[in-house]
Structure 1
Amino acid sequence: MTETDRKINEAFDRLLAGHPEITDGKLTVSNICVEAGVSRASYYRSPPGSRNQTTARHTANSPARTRRPP
């Protein structure tokens, strides 16, 4: 894991836990990047496996989403 990947994962964990240091705390790519101190380009250049692990952790901690009937 690179230093950038570590920063991204730590920022994601802070946002997921509700403890942002810089942003409003919304779980967005922009906020993850700001919290991590990396550019969006660096985020998207990080190995997809790292981003998939981050997304998988979020999905596992989220309640199931259901569609409302029309």
Structure 2
Amino acid sequence: MGIKDKVSNEAENMKGKAEEVAGKMTDNERLEAEGKMDQASAKAKKAGEKAKDSMSDAKDAAKDAIRR
């Protein structure tokens, strides 16, 4: 996962946490729900990036094994 992706995902996650807390404090259910959705979205993107990285690592390992 590139640093840009990591920063973007973490920013989205933190924004979601802030929205969730603000929604709870103001009894704004919509804002709270939006915050939770932003957090879930960031988590899903992070999982996707990790899977992509794992596949890339496996591909590199397979190439190295073939070269030996």
TM-score normalised by L of structure 1: 0.33
Select the structure that is richer in helix. Answer: 2
TM-score normalised by L of structure 2: 0.34
